[in-house]
Amino acid sequence: MSDHSSRFDPSRGGSSDQISSLMGSVIDVWFKGFAALQAMAGRSSLDGARGEAVGNPFDTMLGPVADMAASLGVPGLDAVGARKGGEMGQAAISQLADLSPLVAQAGLAAAASAFRYGRAIAELLAQYQSSLLQAAADRATGHAVASPAECRVLADELRAFLRQVGDAAMQEARRLQQDLEVVGESIARTAGDATPTSHPDQRPPRRTHRVKA
Amino acid sequence: MNLSAEVDHTSAGVIAALGFTEEIAKLRRRIAAWIESCDTEVREALEWQFLAGAKYFRPLTIFACHRSIIPGPIPEPIMTSALVIEFFHNVSLIIDDILDRSDTRRGRPTMHTRFGELNALMVSGYIVADGYAQLGDDLRAIGLFSELLKRLGVAECMQWRLRRQPLGVEDWRRLAGEDTGSMFEVCACLGDRSSRLRRFGGLLGLLYHGCDDVGDVRGAAALGGGGDEDVRDGILTLPAALAIRDPTIGALFCKPDPNAQELEAIAHAFAARLPEAEAYLDRIAEEARSEARLFAVDPTLLLALIDETRRLSGR
């Protein structure tokens, strides 16, 4: 016996009370999430004002890259390498000098991605704020002022909003994936170039194809 | 077999604008050669279906997506994918025409009107089977075409089940996304061979579907005009989704058997929502442009394809 209860059927359960309740739940969850974001942003700016990096997600993300760059003495890595003398082979130092800017580039790509996503969400909030506020007001007053037809329009608006939040996340994830794959290809090329060999024929194969997907 | 006068007039301009005249000519020769190789029992029906007034938008999408990622000539596996997408597209048209009880398409009798329902259904099966045979060992394409057939089947069932219901624009978007959207999504994947342009394809399909809906209401000659079947059957088109926000029109739209006067009132309400529908289509077009710019190596052809598709609403 087949169970069709999970089939797409947007017309089911369409009473205004149920729609209002559903929208109220969505709005509650959304505002809690938004408050959390605001709290994080506020704490970050306060931390920044005190000159501390703790709590700032960008600093947290870029921190290890900065530490690595500092430990390698970038810029001027060659000078550090010279001081360390025999601790590290010259080829390995050269390889790291090539790689570390690329790792930093990856960090910057991730930071830019987070920024773009935040901006996209802010734009969506601005675009749909009247629908969100109306749903919140209906929720606060405890009864749906709107007619069933108006509720359906409002529900349609909120569904569009949620879809676009998801779309923005997916697009940004794909964009970041593409950016990071480009960096990954550069790292692979750099690593291949820097490997010491006695003869050109013994060098590892260099990847020359375009990044896809 | 004379192929020179068989391309739809509007589409000939689009094909030339996108720079795929040679490729489409080659595709048409392959279609003609395939028909010649088919069993004589079905050949006349295949000629009737394939060699008159086709738009070739789906092969164009495959070619454009391929070239936007990899410049140069269109390779043979991509050409075969274009051939098979025309097969599957025509199967979907034959089934749609039976379901919608449409007597004419592209200005002449539909296949089931001309050859009967049994022949139309059996020829559809023949086309699908030979489509898979054409793909040979192209496993990626086989997977994509299987995805397409399944999604089209589900979309058709869903669309029919959800007739005459007070749904919204988001519901239209979902239905259209699984119907025409899935077709163009698969076209994009067949062209780019990486799924990088999958979302672009989905948006292009959504745009195409919406322009078709709007063009039907407007009676745009470019898309064959009409749309009467959709009104009669209570199909959720984009103008319908907007118009039934009005409770009076919504109630009429949901009636199981509306009379002529009520159908006229519904059609009038749909027409009144055309500016809003056009604005919505503009937003979809912009989403598609954004995808093209972000994920194509060279988005030029994809942007042109969006512009050509957008014109189909007859604005």
Provide the number of CB pairs (under 8 Å) joining chain A to chain B: 60
Q: Least CB-CB distance to A8: which of B158, B166, B295? A: B158
The β-bridge partners of B104 are B109
Q: Mean of the pLDDT values across residues B155-165?
A: 93
The pLDDT confidence band at residue B277, using thresholds 50, 70 and 90, is very high
Count the neighbouring beta carbons within 10 Å of the beta carbon of residue B33. Answer: 11
pLDDT in tens, B9-48: 778 888 999 999 999 999 999 999 999 999 999 999 999 9
pLDDT of res. B190 = 98
pLDDT of res. B301 = 97
When mean pLDDT is compared across A57-71, A96-110, A181-195, the lowest value belongs to A57-71
Q: Of B137 and B54, which is predicted with more confidence?
A: B137
CA–CA dist A26, A158 (Å, integer): 9
pLDDT of res. A31 = 62
Q: Residue A113: which domain range?
A: 16-195
Q: Which residues of A touch B173 (CB under 8 A)?
A: 163
Is B250 in Cβ contact with A149 (below 8 Å)? Answer: yes
Specify if A161 maps to a domain: yes
The pLDDT confidence band at residue A17, using thresholds 50, 70 and 90, is low
Specify if A101 maps to a domain: yes
Total domains in the fold of chain A? 1
CA–CA dist B188, A123 (Å, integer): 29
| Cα–Cα nearest to A16, from A192, A191, A154 | A154
| Mutate which: B171, B197, B244, vs A, most A CBs within 10 A | B171
Whether the per-residue pLDDT at B5 is higher than 50: the answer is: no
Q: Which long-range contacts (CB under 8 A, 24 or more apart) does A9-18 make?
A: A9/B162, A10/B162, A10/B165, A10/B167, A10/B168, A10/B170, A10/B171, A11/B162, A11/B165, A11/B166, A11/B167, A14/A148, A14/A152, A14/B166, A15/A148, A16/A144, A16/A146, A16/A147, A16/A148, A16/A151, A17/A144
CA–CA dist B192, B221 (Å, integer): 32
Specify if A188 maps to a domain: yes
**Closest CA of chain B from A149, distance in Å:** 6
A75 Rama class: left (phi>0) / alpha (psi -120 to 50) / beta? beta
pLDDT of res. A213 = 37
pLDDT in tens, B55-106: 899 999 999 999 999 999 999 999 999 999 999 999 999 999 998 889 998 8
Specify if A200 maps to a domain: no
| Mutate which: B66, B67, B151, B167, vs A, most A CBs within 10 A | B167
Count the neighbouring beta carbons within 10 Å of the beta carbon of residue A205. Answer: 6
Specify if A75 maps to a domain: yes
Is B165 in Cβ contact with A11 (below 8 Å)? Answer: yes
Q: Give whole-number Cα distances, A191 to A98, A99, B135, in Å.
A: 8, 8, 40
Could you confirm whether domain B9-313 is CATH 1.10.600.10? Answer: yes
Q: Give whole-number Cα distances, A99 to A107, A185, A211, in Å.
A: 13, 11, 19
**Whole-prediction pTM value?**
0.79
